[in-house]
Amino acid sequence: MNDIVIIGGGHAAAQLCASLVEAGQGARVHLVCEEPCEPYHRPPLSKAFLKSAEETTQPHKAADWYREAGITLHLGNEATVIDRAAHTVTLRSGAVLPWERLVLATGTRARRLSGLPDGLANVAMLRAADEAHRLRTQLASAQHVIVLGGGFIGLEVAATAKAMGKTVRVVEAAPRLMGRAVSPELSAHVLAVHRAADIDIVLNAKVGGFEISGDRLQSIEIDGVKVAVDLLLLGIGAVPETTLAEATGLECADGIVVDAHMQTSDAAVLAIGDCTRFPDRRAGRALRLESVANANEQARTAAATLTGAPRPHDALPWFWSEQGGMRLQMVGLVPDESTPGQVTVRRPGPGANPNAFSLFHYVDGQLVCVESANAPVDHMMSRKLLEAQRNPEPAAVADVAVPLKSLLV
């Protein structure tokens, strides 16, 4: 028995399959997916996919690729039980898969709103293709959309719905948008842009008082005021999917705890992607990141571990979000507002566009993060610079020194 069983169908699982095939290990791989289709790209689900019934999901690889690579697919047949002692996984169909190494790429699930039952016809969430299909149908008939949550997903859907001619209100419990992910300066800019586009945004909001009739949510209370509901999107974040890991006794703490090689508390079991909590050298603490880039890099680290050439995960985090005509790109981690010695420098982007700029965040004179709005060249150069700071090879520094000279203090 030398099989590698991967549980999950997101970006991390897809990249791990690709990396193992590249290493000549495809014939060892079993991919177990709860969804009935091959892994697909998820970012478009909140944007172009919602606008047109002609849009389809975009698979990472065609079904033929998996077959030719020797990968065995178990689609629409989720894992239900992991037996670490016997090294087996039982699927919903009753099939039992033996494994030498097991990889959990179980991702996240949408956070539910306390007091609001599941299954209401005019309440939506957006994590996977089936939810995107349902939301697209709901949007086609809705005129007024309320989005609970001012994070990336909520704001992306809000911008998309507005572009479709809907009336949109975003309701955020925190004092600013995207508060866990971006700086106050970028939050303020995003707020101004969305409000200028006639999206109603409520901050510091208190939500409750749900009125339900049959299978529909009739109204909710926002700051004590009763508001009729046509369509409600829950965009209040995600929680790591750790059910299987916890049931089999793996260490979990707001995510499956892994080391720098993506190994869990059982060295025969790895975990990758949004479901993991991993040590980060730059942050000096354990992190859980919901990011396509992070999922892909962790998958490459796991492939190295599985093929006997281990190297620690030490990737530079970067993120992006497209909200209507606004393209946000972030590299590095924004320092906490209470961090001493931090300075933020704003530089204009190309041309005379006031909505194009970059924010360079320094701590004690060291550049730690760059946030760019409609400035993709800044973003790419900043990624190179931050990589060069981490790995100060003279050639690497020289590559970025000239193009970045005009951007830095």
Whether residues 147 and 187 share a domain: the answer is yes
Asked if 148 and 208 count as a contact pair (C-beta separation under 8 A), the reply is no
For residue 182, CA distances in Å to 46, 122, 356 come to 19, 30, 16
Q: Which residue has the higher pLDDT, 402 or 53?
A: 53
Whether residues 128 and 230 share a domain: the answer is yes
Whether residues 156 and 42 share a domain: the answer is no
Whether residues 53 and 88 share a domain: the answer is yes
The DSSP annotation for 138-153 comes to HHHH-SEEEEE--SHH
Whether residues 284 and 295 share a domain: the answer is yes
Among 209, 236, 263, the domain-final residue is 236
Residue 116, domain member (yes or no): yes
For range 366-387, the mean pLDDT: 94
**The pLDDT value given to residue 405:** 45
Question: What CATH number is associated with residue 287?
Answer: 3.50.50.60
Residue 330, domain member (yes or no): no
Whether residues 37 and 146 share a domain: the answer is no
Query: Which two structure tokens, joined as six digits, stand for 264?
Result: 């869990």
Which residues, in sequence order, are CB contacts of 357 under 8 Å at separation 6+? 346, 347, 348, 349, 372, 373, 374, 375
**The pLDDT value given to residue 401:** 44
Query: Which two structure tokens, joined as six digits, stand for 84?
Result: 């670490």
Residue 321, domain member (yes or no): no
Residue 318, domain member (yes or no): no
Among 219, 236, 253, the domain-final residue is 236
DSSP H helices, 240-313, are 243-247, 292-306
Element spanning 82, H or E = strand 79-83
**The pLDDT value given to residue 338:** 82
Rounded to 5 degrees, what angle do the CA atoms 168, 172, 173 make?
155
Residue 169 CA to residue 198 CA, distance in Å, equals 9
pLDDT, one tens digit per residue, over 154-194 is 999 999 999 999 999 999 999 999 998 999 999 999 999 99
Whether residues 140 and 211 share a domain: the answer is yes
Whether residues 285 and 230 share a domain: the answer is no
Tell me, rounded to whole angstroms, the distance of Cα 253 from its chain centroid.
18
Question: What CATH number is associated with residue 391?
Answer: 3.30.390
Whether residues 37 and 89 share a domain: the answer is yes
Residue 402 CA to residue 409 CA, distance in Å, equals 13
**The pLDDT value given to residue 302:** 98
**The pLDDT value given to residue 404:** 47
Q: Band the pLDDT of 1: cuts 50, 70, 90.
A: low
For residue 159, the one-letter residue type is A
81-104 as b/e: b if 16+ CB within 10 A: ebebeebbbebeeeeebebebbbb
pLDDT for residue 285 is more than 80: yes
Residue 323, domain member (yes or no): no
Whether residues 220 and 367 share a domain: the answer is no
Whether residues 28 and 98 share a domain: the answer is yes
| Residue 18: strand, helix, or coil | helix
Residue 273, domain member (yes or no): yes
pLDDT for residue 403 is more than 70: no
Q: How many CA atoms lie within 13 A of 187 on its CB side?
A: 18
139-161 as b/e: b if 16+ CB within 10 A: beebeebbbbbbbbbbbbbbbbb
Residue 249, domain member (yes or no): yes
Q: Band the pLDDT of 398: cuts 50, 70, 90.
A: very low
Among 195, 220, 236, the domain-final residue is 236
pLDDT, one tens digit per residue, over 85-130 is 999 999 999 999 999 999 999 999 999 998 899 999 999 999 999 9
Please tell me the total count of domains within the chain.
Answer: 3
Whether residues 364 and 286 share a domain: the answer is no
Q: Which residues form the domain of 369?
A: 335-404
Query: What count of other Cβ atoms lies within 10 Å of the Cβ of residue 364?
Result: 10
Residue 256, domain member (yes or no): yes
Query: What count of other Cβ atoms lies within 10 Å of the Cβ of residue 353?
Result: 12
Taking all residues of the chain, what is their mean pLDDT, rounded to a whole number?
Answer: 93
pLDDT for residue 256 is more than 90: yes
